Chain A
Amino acid sequence: KAGVTQTPRYLIKTRGQQVTLSCSPISGHRSVSWYQQTPGQGLQFLFEYFSETQRNKGNFPGRFSGRQFSNSRSEMNVSTLELGDSALYLCASSLGLSAGLEETQYFGPGTRLLVL
């Protein structure tokens, strides 16, 4: 079974620009979560999508948005980029079953974003 894929793997943008990152989950997985990883901050949760709906959201500004398509693929968009947005962006997929059931998230390799 193919793993989680993310494109592009590396990206360089300048302040003020916007960026769109893509994530394809493991086949059969309906939940996709996005995380930002920066040195010393660990993985900070951005949001989770399930069946094309945002189900959970972390504490990030509105410049960070996402969506999910009917095939469970997800995109994340960051508008008006700031220097502090430079990070590794990871997506993870899981079955997304009902709350209370133990699930494991599987991660993609990440997209390394550098904002100049």
Chain B
Amino acid sequence: DQQVKQNSPSLSVQEGRISILNCDYTNSMFDYFLWYKKYPAEGPTFLISISSIKDKNEDGRFTVFLNKSAKHLSLHIVPSQPGDSAVYFCAASPNTGNQFYFGTGTSLTVIP
């Protein structure tokens, strides 16, 4: 049972435009959410996180939004750059332990 879902396997965006990656979850016990970026042949790299007490967290070009009532989070990348082309995973962790649940990933391609 996939508790964290990324329904878009791929996304293409023009350089300079906004990239929006979406993630949905089903478990109301999740209270900490993370985004990871993964290049081929490398492990995922932590990008940005958000706690359930917030609805927005910004770090440079990256902003994560959390809508708890809809059990939905999104990652915005503005402006998108070709180097952002990678697979993006969202992950969630409950307040009951150090276990993380990952989505299936969205492959982002930024076209120069």
Residues on A close to B: CB < 8 A? 4, 6, 31, 33, 35, 40-45, 48, 50, 55-56, 90, 92, 94, 96-97, 99-100, 102-110
A106 touches B98 (CB 8 A): no
Q: Mark B1-26, 1 if CB is under 8 A from A, else 0.
A: 01000100000000000000000000
Known A42-B89, A42-B102, A42-B104; contact A102-B42, beta-carbon cutoff 8 A: no
B102 touches A43 (CB 8 A): yes
B46 touches A105 (CB 8 A): yes
What would 30 A/B residue contacts be, using CB atoms closer than 8 Å?
A4-B43, A31-B98, A33-B99, A33-B100, A35-B102, A42-B2, A42-B89, A42-B102, A42-B104, A42-B105, A48-B98, A48-B99, A50-B98, A56-B98, A90-B43, A90-B44, A92-B100, A102-B49, A102-B51, A102-B93, A103-B93, A103-B98, A104-B46, A105-B91, A105-B100, A106-B46, A107-B43, A109-B41, A109-B42, A110-B42
A56 touches B89 (CB 8 A): no
A104 touches B104 (CB 8 A): no
5 shortest interchain CB distances as A-B pairs: A107-B43, A42-B104, A43-B102, A56-B99, A102-B32
Q: Please pick, from A40, A42, A99, A108, the residue contacting B43 in the complex, using a CB distance under 8 A.
A: A108
Cβ–Cβ < 8 Å partners of A4 in chain B:
43
Cβ–Cβ < 8 Å partners of A56 in chain B:
97-99
Cβ–Cβ < 8 Å partners of B69 in chain A:
none
Cβ–Cβ < 8 Å partners of A106 in chain B:
46
For the complex formed, measure the closest distance between the CB of A80 and the CB atoms of chain B, giving whole angstroms. Answer: 26
For the complex formed, measure the closest distance between the CB of B86 and the CB atoms of chain A, giving whole angstroms. Answer: 13
B101 within 8 Å of A by Cβ? yes
Q: Mark B22-53, 1 if CB is under 8 A from A, else 0.
A: 00000000001010100001111110010100
Please name the residue on chain B nearest to A98 by beta carbon. B98
Cβ–Cβ < 8 Å partners of B6 in chain A:
42
- Measured between alpha carbons, how far is A42 from B101 in the docked complex, in Å? 10
Cβ–Cβ < 8 Å partners of B36 in chain A:
107
B104 touches A41 (CB 8 A): yes
B100 touches A96 (CB 8 A): no
